[in-house]
């Protein structure tokens, strides 16, 4: 079965991006959210995404300035290449303009999933909300529909028994800013069918993603399993006043050839997001003297309370313009 009908549950930051990107790749998309107010916000997000996608394409047009960029090809042999490029840009922009009108919005879960091959769940990251959602979804969805959670911090086995189809349930973890960070970590739990994982991988590719298969359930998937402790160790050096932010970033970049140091990455991810992760660890361990507790307190007091939340806000570990 090729997935052609997608329902995205939850029209927040990630949900709307998954929906938009899928529609952009010619999937029939329905967005479900709990009430009119949420749906109105979701529609606004979709309109904003249309502008973002068009801007990205305009940027491509600028970078295709052949003469300024010294791009050379034989115009005798390829006389219409410029024309082809520009007409593709126009076609793409025209298509993007139609996307908001092509997406179906619904506050009835039953209606929203009635034809779905795949439901991607992007509802709030709260266990009880997700549990209630899967209980309801399992009642109204066709029995062949695949369910995927986009949860960043929870794992599919936590909800599998509520889905009524554990073998058709898995995680598909998308990254923020899907139009440039086009990766999906695809991860089943112990009882997920191999064939369902393959379908999810194939679907991911069909909507322009690099699909990253994970063989075994893992909290934090691949990226966060490495990235979170990486950031944590850099934060510990800063917290312990071993070195300043610039020196730590410089050391990492010179030592490994990476284009960004840990604090530049922190500023992009957003200090509030990293604070939530540290706070969550600290609350789980319940030790006020743990490193996580100290780091969470510092991030809150020195950064978040001073409106230093990262690059998007203009000021984090570094100041931006």
Footprint of a second copy on this chain (CB under 8 A)?
A: 175, 181, 183, 185, 210, 212-216, 218, 222-223, 225-227, 229-230, 233-234, 236-237, 240-244, 247-248, 250-252, 254-260, 262, 265
Q: Tell me how far apart the alpha carbons of residues 50 and 103 are, in angstroms, rounded to a whole number.
A: 12
- Least distance in Å: CB of 87 to a second copy? 30
Q: Which is nearer to a second copy, 63 or 87 (CB)?
A: 63
CB of 171 to a second copy, least distance (A): 13
Of 61 and 219, nearer to a second copy (C-beta) is: 219
Q: Smallest distance, Å, CB 267 to a second copy? A: 13
| Contact status, residue 6 vs residue 27, Cβ threshold 8 Å | yes
Q: With H, G, I as helix, E, B as strand and everything else as coil, classify residue 9.
A: strand
Give the nearer residue to a second copy in terms of CB position, either 121 or 185: 185
SS3 76: coil
Closer by beta carbon to a second copy, 182 or else 302: 182
| Max CA separation in the chain (angstroms) | 72
- Kind and range of the H or E element at 32? strand 28-32
- Beta bridge pairs of residue 121: 9, 149
Both structure tokens of 261: 């140091």
Q: Return d(Cα 294, Cα 5) in angstroms, integer.
A: 47
Q: Which residue, 34 or 268, has its beta carbon nearer to a second copy?
A: 268
CB of 226 to a second copy, least distance (A): 5
| Residue at token pair 């780091």 | 295
Nearest distance, CB of residue 88 and a second copy, angstroms: 25
**Looking up tokens 């109105």, which residue turns up?**
40
């Amino acid at each position: 079965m090729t997935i052609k009908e997608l329902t995205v549950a939850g029209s927040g930051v990630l949900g709307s991006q998954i929906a938009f990107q899928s529609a952009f790749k010619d999937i029939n998309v329905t967005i479900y959210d709990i009430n009119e107010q949420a749906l109105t916000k979701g529609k606004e997000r979709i309109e904003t995404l249309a502008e973002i996608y068009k801007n990205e394409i305009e940027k491509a047009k600028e970078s295709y300035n052949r003469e300024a960029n010294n791009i050379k090809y034989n115009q005798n042999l390829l006389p219409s290449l410029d024309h082809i490029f520009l007409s593709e840009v126009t076609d793409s922009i025209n298509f993007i303009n139609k996307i908001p009108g092509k997406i179906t919005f619904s506050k009835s879960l039953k209606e929203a999933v009635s034809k779905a091959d795949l439901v991607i769940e992007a509802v709030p990251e709260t266990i009880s909300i997700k549990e209630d959602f899967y209980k309801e979804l399992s009642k109204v969805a066709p029995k062949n529909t695949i369910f995927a959670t986009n949860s960043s911090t929870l794992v599919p086995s936590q909800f599998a028994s509520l889905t009524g189809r554990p073998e058709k349930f898995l995680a598909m973890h998308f990254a923020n800013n899907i139009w440039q960070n086009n990766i999906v970590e695809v991860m089943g739990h112990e009882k997920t069918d191999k064939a369902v994982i393959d379908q999810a991988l194939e679907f991911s590719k069909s909507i322009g993603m690099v699909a990253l298969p994970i063989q075994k359930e893992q909290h934090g998937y691949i990226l966060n399993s490495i990235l979170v402790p990486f950031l944590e160790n850099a934060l510990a050096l800063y917290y312990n006043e071993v070195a300043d932010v610039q020196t730590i970033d410089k050391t990492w970049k010179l030592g490994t050839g990476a284009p960004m140091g840990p604090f530049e990455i922190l500023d992009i991810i957003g200090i509030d997001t990293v604070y939530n992760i540290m706070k969550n660890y600290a609350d789980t361990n319940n030790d006020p003297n743990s490193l996580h507790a100290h780091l969470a307190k510092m991030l809150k007091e020195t950064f978040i309370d001073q409106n230093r939340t990262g690059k998007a806000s203009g000021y984090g570990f570094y100041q931006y313009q």
